[in-house]
Amino acid sequence: MTTRSYVVVHETNYDYEYPVGLSRQIVHLAPRTTPYQACRAHSLKVSPDAEILATSVDAFGNPVTSLCIEADHDSLSVRAESWVDLTARNYPEDRATPPWDAVRARLEYRAGRRPQPFDLEAAHFLFESTRVRNKRELAEWTSACFPPGRPLLEGVRALMNRIHTELKFDPTATTVSTPVMEVFERRRGVCQDFAHLMLSCLRSMGLAARYVSGYLLTRPPPGKARLVGADASHAWVSVYCPDYGWVDADPTNGVFPSLEHVTLGWGRDYDDVIPLRGVLLGGGDHELEIKVTVAPAADYEAIFGAPSALMRSL
C-alpha cells in the first residue's frame, strides 16, 4: 500500500489540588501538512469551555492554538482528534546522496558567500538548543559512522542503527528533563532521549537536524483488540540533505519513517513542540493523565463506537 489513513485521538487531563482562576495554554496538537501527509480534519475539544485567542502557525510553520479559561476550574481536559492521510515517502538511495563532509562545508558560514535559501533555513538547526548539545565527545563517538567522503544518508543510517542497537529503551531511566549527556553516559532512555541524542551527534558533526514530534502506529498482540488510549506520543529526527530536502530517521525503531509515522510538527528540540504548555493562576499540585490512540481510519467505529462530530463531518 502506498497510502494509508489514520485517526489520532490525543487526550490530556489535569486534576488540580486547588481551583485555577486563570489558565492560558498554547496547544501543538494539529498535524501539519507536508508533501507526504494531509490532515483532512482536526477538532479540539476543551473542558471547561475555553476562549480561542488565536489559531496560527509558529516560527517553524507548525499549527498552534492559543486559548484562555477565566472561570474557576479544578480540572482541565483537552481532546484533539485528527484524520490524517499518509503517502509513502520516496527516499533517495543512500549512496546517491552527497558526501556528508561536503554538506557540512556547504552549511558552514563564510564571509561574502550568499547561502542558498534552503541552506539558510536549515542553518536554524545547526546549533545548540535548550535540550541539544554540541560536544566534542559526541563528535568523536559519531565519527565512526561518518568517515571522510561517506554519502550523507549512509552515515545517518549508520548512526540511527548504532543508537538503536547500543541504547536500551527504558521508560524508568529518564524524565522529561534528563540532560542529553546523561542519556549518552547511561545508554538508556525513551524516544525523546534517543532523538535528542541523535540531534546532538549530528549537530556536533556540523550537520543540520531538527526534532520531529508525532505518533507511531502500534499493533496489539495477536488476537487482542486495539485498546483506546494505549498508545503514546513519539519523537524522531529529520536531517537536511541538500538538493533533496529533509530525511526523517527514527533511532528508537531503527527505521526511516514512511506509512506508520504521523507528524505533528518540528523544531529545534522538544521544547519547541510541547503538545500543551501554559501558565496558571492557582492550582497547586496536579495530576496529569495522557491517553493516545492511533488507529486505521477504517477501524474507528470498532474502537470508539459511534462516530464523533469530526468523523460525521467527513
Q: 183-193 pLDDT, tens per residue?
A: 999 999 999 99
Cell representation of residue 302 = 470498532
| Least confidently predicted of 63-72, 109-118, 138-147 | 109-118
The CA distance from 167 to 194, in Å, is 8
Q: What is the mean pLDDT of residues 10-34?
A: 96
pLDDT band, residue 245 (cuts 50/70/90): very high
Confirm whether 3-87+274-305 and 94-272 share one CATH topology: no
Residue 21 is predicted with a pLDDT of 93
Q: What share of the chain in percent tops pLDDT 90?
A: 84
Residue 65 is predicted with a pLDDT of 97
Residue 308 is predicted with a pLDDT of 76
Domain ranges of the chain: 3-87+274-305, 94-272
Topology of the domain comprising 94-272: C8orf32 fold (3.10.620)
The CA distance from 298 to 217, in Å, is 14
Sign of the CA dihedral with 293 first, then 296, 301, and 302 last: negative
Sign of the CA dihedral with 120 first, then 124, 125, and 128 last: positive
The CA distance from 162 to 270, in Å, is 22
In the predicted structure, residue 227 carries a pLDDT above the cut 60: no
Tell me the whole-structure pTM to 2 decimals. 0.93
In the predicted structure, residue 169 carries a pLDDT above the cut 80: yes
Cell representation of residue 237 = 529526527
Q: For the sheet containing 233-241, what is the strand order?
A: 245-249, 233-241, 209-216, 261-267
| Average pLDDT for the chain | 93
Concatenated DSSP letters of 118-150: HHHHHGGGSS--SS----HHHHHHHGGG--TT-
- The structural architecture, per CATH, of the domain 3-87+274-305 is Sandwich (2.60)
Residue 15 is predicted with a pLDDT of 96
Strands 63-69 and 188-189: unpaired
Q: 260-276 pLDDT, tens per residue?
A: 999 999 999 999 999 99
Q: 301-312 pLDDT, tens per residue?
A: 888 877 777 776
